[in-house]
A and B are shown apart, each in its own frame.
Chain A
Amino acid sequence: MQCQCSKTQSDLSLLEPVLANYAAVKGSLITILQQAQEIYGYLPMDVIYHIAEKTGTTPARVLGVATFYTQFRFQPVGKYLIMLCDGTACHVNGSARIAAAVQEYLGVENGGTTADGLFSFSIVACLGCCSLSPVMMINEDTYGSLTPAKVLDILKEIQAKEAAQ
């Protein structure tokens, strides 16, 4: 595989306030990565290298930590991140049917992003809203008691809103 680190060109100056706060505080690597992801939407490779350099460690270690946790992403995500819960309660209440409906309608696999960059789809561990199962979150909003028909209505509503803009 070819080296990917020069493929991304991120504005590293955006990260300066975060590094100023945390680079010297031991044990802050996860916090730095979380804030970096908030800035860039994901963790571009050049940002990983930059963090390693500024915290005095190796890119391998930074990447090792980042890949360990499910929260971190290494590809850009769509404007709307759909997180479908597959916790136990959602599972027994039919989350697989919801997943199939979303995947068929948007034409994306788990972890994928639509060609127009509008939606990313991800099946996640329990969101802790078990009584409303099956449940999904789109960005910060939670939707419960889903059916395949209901989930399509929600997606169409977002598409209509975006098309109107």
Chain B
Amino acid sequence: MSIRIAVGKGSCGIAAGAQKVYDALESALQGSAVTLGTVGCIGMCWLEPIVDIYEDDRLAARLVQVQPKDAGIIADAAKSGDYSGVEALRITDGDSSFLTQQTRIALRNCGIIDPESIESAKAAGGYSAITHILKDGVSPEDVIECIKVSGLAGRGGAGFPTWFKWNAARQSAGDEKYLICNADEGDPGAFMDRAVIESDPHTLIEGMLIGAYAIGAKEAIVYVRAEYPLAIRRLAHAIKEARSAGYIGKSIMGSAFSCEFRIKAGAGAFVCGEETALIESLQGQRGMPRLKPPFPAQAGYWYKPSNINNVETFANVSWIINNGGEAFAAMGTEDSKGTKVFALTGKIRRGGLVEIPMGMTLRQVIFDIGGGIRGGKAFKAVQMGGPSGGCIPASLLDTVIDYKKLAATGAIMGSGGMVVMDEDTCMVSMAKFFLDFTAKESCGKCVHCRIGTKRLQEILTRIVEGKGRGGDIELLEELCSGVKDGALCGLGQTAPNPVLSTLRYFRDEFEAHITEKRCPAHTCTDLLHYEINADACKGCTLCAKKCPVGAISGSVKQPHSIDQKQCIKCGQCFANCKFGAVTVK
């Protein structure tokens, strides 16, 4: 029996200390028969660093929140096969249920295989789909038909049927065609694409090869965010390995199909997630969207037929070819087929990557899988689709995850960001946060988006600063519809969504800010008012010592008071009072 220890080294694992754990294990295992390896991200980010012990291919123990000092006992356990010494590190059944409730297709190999070894990927079935297509002579039309049957839709946000785009690019005249992967994951709060590239780059490459074969492209380009250095490094390594193994290059596996790969690092612009802006950026220009039509399938990169799909979309493709379109379509709802990956973050107890079949409810994802809200607070809303999406309140937690059902709430499926907010989150301030983002990221081409988002941002800023005026809500609504109608691309058309959806479900919070100059969540500092309750104050002087501006006065063992003129509302007194005597309004 061979014993193998695998350390999860995705970006978040490394940030949590996985490299130090790996180094400590390496020295602890010296001279032993136990092998040590790297895997990507399993998606249980709150438990990082994670160390798995395999006996042959069986997972014998999953150890969590491992520290470098644990390396000795882990090495002893792996060498002896007696795991009693590491029981305290073992994952609990409750935490394990985070994974057992999921259905993993796009993430099937993440955290299991070694992302830097093509052999590891092949042992998990990597490159079997493209081999089948090329060796058994499956036609591009049959590939497209299989994807059509599967019902796979674009996972980057828009949800457009993948087969339709592939078919349109295939039908376009010309020999020079391009296949592009959009890995410019800019939605703040989404990281599934990074995890797939860092953990299983060969599945992405295989999906892209199949796409290139289907549309007739000889060149494939991956446009990756420059903020993802590890993903770029692992993908470059994987491309090199795939080329050496004969999966990339001329006459792949002796067939007539040739395809070259390259990586283009983005330079930081959210709008480049829009496909025509991405193409402009690939051409070395400012990333400003083009007018459609013509669509990229007709005139894309260098005005040649091009097809662009997102990382997660490609990660599903080889599974669909291997298992059949019907198997994929058997999962999900009438309108939305297969699975979707979500990045569950915010005030959630178990944050990480969740892949579930379409048709589950938000409640199941947030409470059953995610374990509910951290610190016993109440759930307030979940933001889906980031700055292009909207928030969904507690009353709609039983909404089914499906493109149409989510759109009906005013949110969108988006690329899969799911940021959970609790009672301490101010929704007006959240709307402002998103508008700060879109106003900054607007490329400036369309007047409505460039100036409209700026004006929306200004109005929201004055509301959270307690300077809101009567009529501001109506003005926000009017501006929102103007920006929606007047923008060329998805960024502008969806930029008002966070404002509209918070207005729809949390209008009372806007009104409280504007008319009562009050922030119900107690987060907008300009609207806060700290006071000391004289009956509860013991005169311990702690608050006066902590106050950075000396606004608190009082004698020892006598009730203290706050000089409101001097108070900068930092909240130090509130946070430090041991008697609950400081109140905030």
Binding site for B on A (CB under 8 A): 26-31, 33-34, 64-65, 68-72, 86-89, 91-93, 124-133, 135, 140, 142-145
Contact = CB atoms under 8 A, between A and B. Distances in A.
Contacts of B386: 88
A64 B287 CA distance: 11
Given A65-B285, A69-B267, A125 B345 contact: no
A30 B267 contact: yes
A129 B191 contact: yes
Given A34-B226, A68-B287, A89-B346, A130 B191 contact: yes
B227 A127 contact: yes
Interface string B104-123: 00000000000000000000
B15 A92 contact: no
Interface residues of B, number: 54
B14 A142 contact: yes
A34 B267 contact: yes
B169 interface: no
Interface in B1-58: 11-12, 14-16, 45-46, 48
A128 B281 contact: no
B413 to A, nearest CB: 16
Contacts of A132: 12, 15-16, 45, 48
Nearest to A33: B267
A34 B226 CA distance: 10
A88 B46 contact: no
B228 interface: yes
26 contacts: A65-B285, A65-B286, A68-B269, A68-B286, A69-B269, A71-B226, A87-B188, A88-B189, A88-B434, A89-B189, A89-B351, A89-B419, A91-B188, A124-B227, A125-B437, A126-B186, A126-B187, A126-B188, A128-B194, A128-B228, A129-B45, A130-B191, A131-B351, A132-B15, A142-B12, A144-B16
A133 B194 CA distance: 16
A142 B15 contact: yes
B436 to A, nearest CB: 9
Interface string B458-499: 000000000000000000000000000000000000000000
Interface in B175-209: 185-191, 194
B383 A88 contact: yes
A130 B269 contact: no
10 interchain residue pairs of minimum CB distance: A131-B45, A87-B188, A69-B267, A29-B284, A142-B15, A126-B188, A88-B189, A70-B268, A89-B345, A128-B191
A121 to B, nearest CB: 17
Contacts, number: 130
A93 B267 contact: no
Contacts of A70: 267-269
Contacts of B165: none
Contact of B186 (A28, A33, A125): A125
Interface in B69-103: none
A29 B185 CA distance: 22
B134 interface: no
Contacts of A92: 346-347, 419, 421, 425, 430
Nearest to B270: A125
B343 interface: yes
Contact of B11 (A91, A125, A129): A129
Nearest to A142: B15
A144 to B, nearest CB: 4
Nearest to A130: B345
Interface string B343-358: 1011100011000000
Contacts of B417: 88
Contacts of A64: 286
B282 interface: yes
Given A69-B267, A86-B188, 12 more contacts: A30-B284, A64-B286, A65-B285, A69-B269, A87-B189, A89-B351, A91-B188, A92-B346, A92-B425, A124-B227, A125-B186, A131-B12
A126 B225 CA distance: 11
A49 to B, nearest CB: 17
Contacts of B139: none
Contacts of B433: 88, 91
A33 B270 CA distance: 19
A52 B12 CA distance: 39
A72 B185 CA distance: 19
B312 to A, nearest CB: 14
B229 interface: yes
A161 to B, nearest CB: 17
B234 to A, nearest CB: 14
B236 to A, nearest CB: 14
B168 interface: no
A33 B269 CA distance: 15
Nearest to A64: B286
B523 to A, nearest CB: 10
Contacts of A142: 11-12, 14-15
Contacts of B64: none
B226 to A, nearest CB: 5
Contact of A135 (B15, B226, B434): B15
Contacts of B264: 30-31
Contacts of B284: 26-31, 65
